[in-house]
């Protein structure tokens, strides 16, 4: 008792002597596998598979719907890259970026799953062909993508996979960027990230310098945004998709397309055709995003201002 009183006294006089840890690290974003009830598949890309679950700890159907992304096994994916994707999403907080909710690991297994908010309307690739969007709504979505991208770039991340398939739809007036699987950090003072691995890449969304020298920069994300803008204005019609159009533009026999052919096309200044109902000012913006020299392309900040002016 005496010792205890002494300690209390000492602590009162020296408040920083004993730094008592307030609480163990928050556990609120660890989801328990046993409470996750599978509802249906949502989609998959090259790296991951996304499934809709209900997280229902009370086991009475009152739980919340969440989207769960798991790394595909078959592609000999690198776990470090996957953990990086989770870390990056966790560090982002913006209304035009899909919201991280937590992780889930199966007991006794290494596998980690990423839990994020569920966006009921799927990606722009599913949403656009099914809904008759006017140009104004297309431009609103385009501006929101720019807003999410401006935030990402402020944090010095390059996305490297901006495309309609990776933009998710919350409702008729809100989209969010999802899928940070290829996102990389660009250290202060440097201007690009050079990839060494040569896996599956979304080449038809790539800028010239990405195809030629594997250099990814903020400006190469702007090029990919131009292609995404093209997809939005063609309402993701598969007959006009970037791969389909580029195939048509090369004179190679059906189904053949080499990186060399794509690159030489772009280097001779050929570009995707402007979509049918694309306003003049938007054609101009698209053209700016596809400038050969990275430094000639606008930044996302400038793009936001342009869209604000066009939509006014």
What does the binding site for Mg ion look like in residue numbers (CB under 5 A)? 45, 166, 179
Question: In which residue are the tokens 């509802």 written?
Answer: 39
Which position among 92, 97, 116, 139 is part of the footprint of ligand ADP (CB under 6 A)?
A: 116
| 119 belongs to the binding site for ligand ADP (CB under 6 A) | yes
Dihedral angle over CA of 35, 39, 41, 42, nearest 10:
-90
Q: φ and ψ at 308, to 5 degrees? A: -60, -45
- The answer to whether 284 is annotated as binding is no
- The answer to whether 106 is annotated as binding is no
Name the 3-class secondary structure at 194: strand
Nearer to Mg ion by C-beta: 92 or 285?
92
Nearer to Mg ion by C-beta: 47 or 246?
47
Q: Which two tokens stand for residue 11?
A: 């602590």
Q: Which residues contact 292 (CB under 8 A, 6 or more apart)?
A: 208, 266, 267, 269
Q: Which residues are catalytic?
A: 161
By Cβ distance, which residue is nearest to ligand ADP?
Answer: 45
| 273 belongs to the binding site for ligand ADP (CB under 6 A) | no
Nearer to ligand ADP by C-beta: 53 or 118?
118
Distance, in Å, from the CA atom of 170 to the CA atom of 124, rounded to the nearest integer, reads 10
Residue 264 backbone class (left: φ over 0; alpha: ψ -120 to 50; beta: rest): alpha
Distance, in Å, from the CA atom of 50 to the CA atom of 126, rounded to the nearest integer, reads 14
- The answer to whether 189 is annotated as binding is no
Q: Which of residues 32-91 bind ligand ADP (CB under 6 A)?
A: 42-48, 50, 67, 69
- The answer to whether 45 is annotated as binding is yes
Binding site for ligand ADP (CB under 6 A): 42-48, 50, 67, 69, 98, 116-119, 122-123, 165-166, 168, 178-179, 181
Residue ranges at the known binding site for ATP: 42-50, 69
């Amino acid at each position: 008792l005496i010792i205890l009183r002494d300690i209390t006294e000492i602590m009162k006089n020296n408040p920083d002597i004993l730094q008592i840890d307030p609480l163990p690290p928050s556990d609120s974003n660890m989801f328990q596998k046993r409470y996750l009830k599978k509802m249906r598949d949502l989609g998959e890309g090259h790296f991951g598979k996304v499934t809709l679950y209900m997280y229902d700890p009370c086991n009475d159907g009152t739980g919340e719907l969440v989207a769960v992304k798991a790394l595909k096994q078959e592609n000999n994916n690198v776990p470090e890259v996957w953990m990086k994707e989770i870390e990056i999403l966790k560090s982002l907080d913006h209304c035009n970026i899909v919201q991280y909710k937590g992780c889930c690991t199966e007991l006794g297994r290494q596998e980690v799953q990423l839990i994020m908010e569920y966006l009921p309307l799927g990606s722009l690739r599913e949403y656009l062909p099914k809904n008759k969007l006017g140009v104004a709504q297309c431009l609103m979505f385009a501006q929101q993508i720019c807003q999410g991208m401006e935030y990402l770039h402020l944090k010095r991340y390059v996305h490297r996979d901006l495309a309609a398939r990776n933009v998710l739809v919350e409702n008729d007036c809100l989209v969010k960027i999802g899928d940070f699987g290829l996102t990389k950090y660009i250290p202060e003072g440097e201007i690009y990230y050079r990839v060494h691995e040569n896996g599956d890449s979304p080449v038809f969304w790539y800028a010239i310098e990405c195809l030629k020298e594997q250099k990814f920069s903020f400006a190469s994300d702007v090029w990919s945004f131009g292609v995404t803008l093209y997809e939005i204005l063609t309402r993701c019609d598969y007959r006009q998709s970037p791969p389909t159009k580029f195939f048509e533009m090369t004179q190679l026999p059906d189904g053949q397309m080499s990186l060399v052919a794509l690159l030489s096309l772009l280097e001779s200044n050929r570009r995707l055709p402007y979509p049918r109902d694309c306003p003049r000012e938007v054609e101009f913006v698209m053209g700016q995003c596809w400038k050969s020299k990275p430094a000639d392309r606008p930044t996302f900040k400038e793009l936001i201002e342009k869209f604000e002016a066009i939509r006014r």
